[in-house]
Structure 1
């Protein structure tokens, strides 16, 4: 089996939030289709940042370097690609996103060739992952948060996540929104927060003190830039578990967080950290340090497999925008049922691209 060709493309979809019909965000995807000489085509993906730069890097640099290689030889492929992506020092940003596109496509091919899902290749702990819903966007007022929360709970969801650090009224409004949702939706709801790396250490500390008594399941990306020293300081100041890793979740970053005793929950995203090969490293690090493994950042179908595959996997994210995107861009994306998402039974990542949608959403570089 040899890699013979690749196609990359950038797509933007019109995603809308329920109740308000406002843009949902996270609507751009870079797709890499890697083809082998025996007819397998693996699909890798990244998103959001400088998408045409990612696509160009994949097409003009990374794929050219691995043509003729066996996609199953992941260590050899990464040994070939990593010096191209970053000559020295720590890799980050779009170079890891480009690497992720290629790596995920390789995993898809490996799964197809072996007749197994990627979750099974990673260990096959479960055939499903329990889900939480990212829903508490700043566009919603408190009453809308409650209304939408009740709609989601009626569908079987028991875990919801709210964004904080974005309220127009600042700290007190942020805390009020959290309290309002908790009191309206009840104590049985598992409620989490996400700062998207926006709050300062002082803001995050004060917010934790204001909402600690409302049984917060975790606080994701609570500090600006997820600085390891600040995360460690916040962790000592609060009983709320801290999580991170969706945008900067490569293994060396997690090692730094562990060295500072700064993190409770590992949340890598294979679309941004270099791919499933890197997520596997992170998962093993999480196991060594007895940390749960979850998902954040709109990883969708890809992150579902690592959460289901490893025995320390816990929750997969259902993002209101990303869920719409995957239902459109794939013909057979799994949907949450009673708060649980099942791994597709087909091998690899188990989904099929919708060619009509890809055609209609294609964005060419200017």
Structure 2
């Protein structure tokens, strides 16, 4: 049974069934039943997205995003797309090289052979390790395969998997940075409210004398009905996190995110037991095995897979099922345009992290209603790269 510490999903819980007979599902097949879409090429495009103003958390100040667009071409002219990124420009060639290293594991495959690709890619990364950039390379290709599957079948990913809901509650995460003054925080929080958000996240310095006045001003500005999350970005010790966490409880915090370094599961479990506020973590975990260790350590109340680090759609879904088996809710990390489809397919999904970092690269905007992100029915991710934007931002 779920603890009342958890932030639970709300909204339309209707289940979409019968998708095998959906229009366009036969596009993967010849009239004799044989499959005909084959992946023929993998392409990448390095991109740079500068920020108007630097943004900062407890561990970094970010001036731009270095992105890698991934394309899988087929013999039928259908192309699958995906996106990965880094905040450090010098790391982009490493990501690009890792994706290209896995090229032979996907060329010649059919779009729905995601599990076969994963098994082959897993074998190929054996010597270099099962975390870090090797998993990001797998995630880049896996996500493009899922987008391709949806485009070839004429279905969005959530309907390929089995949709759980048509809208997902979202929280505003693209603001409330450490680099902002208290007055700027309040003004931005009010702007989030005007846009319909009923949940938002504040970045912490990890010091009570800085964080508590900012949190107090924010709670007074948004009122008691808005969910406020806080994120320490791995910047604290267990002792300090417990002390600050207890003082923050007066402000009714929805979750305390990554108070400790991601690898320190033992001490994170101590923080979780010591506080009434739910602990959210997982954006720095890799694959189902990392999340299994987190669950076994009882280190978090809410699991937060990141599409790029967890290993793509295939692995995100496995983590979602693993979390459900332990009655744990799942919140997404970054990539809202893509994470939305997965969150729409998980019955234990809670809040979708929303920020607009990558929105300039897409043709279609995300749609919202009453603080809920609407899951698009367009094929694949439901979002397509804007070719003019790619040309403008390419390196």
**TM-score normalized by structure 2?**
0.84
Structure 2: stretches of 5+ with no match in the other structure: 1-36
Aligned to 1:136: 176
* Cα distance change of structure 1 residues 38 and 51 upon mapping to structure 2, 3 Å threshold: same
Structure 1 moving runs of 4+ over 4 Å: 17-20, 23-26
Q: Please give the per-residue CA displacement for 1:107-148, whole angstroms capped at 9, x wherever unaligned.
A: 001111222111122320112211101121011111211111
Between the two proteins, the alignment pairs up a number of residues equal to 351
| Aligned 8 A contact 2:262 2:282 in 1 | no
* Cα distance change of structure 1 residues 350 and 305 upon mapping to structure 2, 3 Å threshold: same
Q: 2:130 aligns with which of 72, 91, 107?
A: 91
Q: Please give the per-residue CA displacement for 1:192-247, whole angstroms capped at 9, x wherever unaligned.
A: 01111122212211110111121100111111234110110001110110111123
Secondary structure of the structure 2 residue equivalent to 1:309: coil
Q: Does 1:77 align with 2:112?
A: no
Q: Does 1:325 align with 2:366?
A: no
| Aligned 8 A contact 1:201 1:224 in 2 | no
- Superposed, 1:1-366 pairs within 5 Å as 1-16=37-52, 25=63, 27-48=65-86, 50-59=91-100, 61-87=101-127, 91-134=130-173, 135-165=175-205, 170-296=207-333, 298-319=334-355, 323-326=356-359, 328-363=360-395
| Aligned 8 A contact 2:269 2:297 in 1 | yes
Aligned to 2:32: none
d(CA) in 2 for partners of 1:223, 1:103: 30
Tell me the C-alpha RMSD between the 2 structures: 2.0
Secondary structure of the structure 2 residue equivalent to 1:97: helix
Deviation at 1:151, TM superposition (A): 1.4
**TM-score normalized by structure 1?**
0.91
d(CA) in 2 for partners of 1:290, 1:4: 41
Deviation at 1:64, TM superposition (A): 2.2
Secondary structure of the structure 2 residue equivalent to 1:103: helix
Secondary structure of the structure 1 residue equivalent to 2:51: coil
Q: Please give the per-residue CA displacement for 1:68-114, whole angstroms capped at 9, x wherever unaligned.
A: 122211221111111222337x5111111111110000000111122
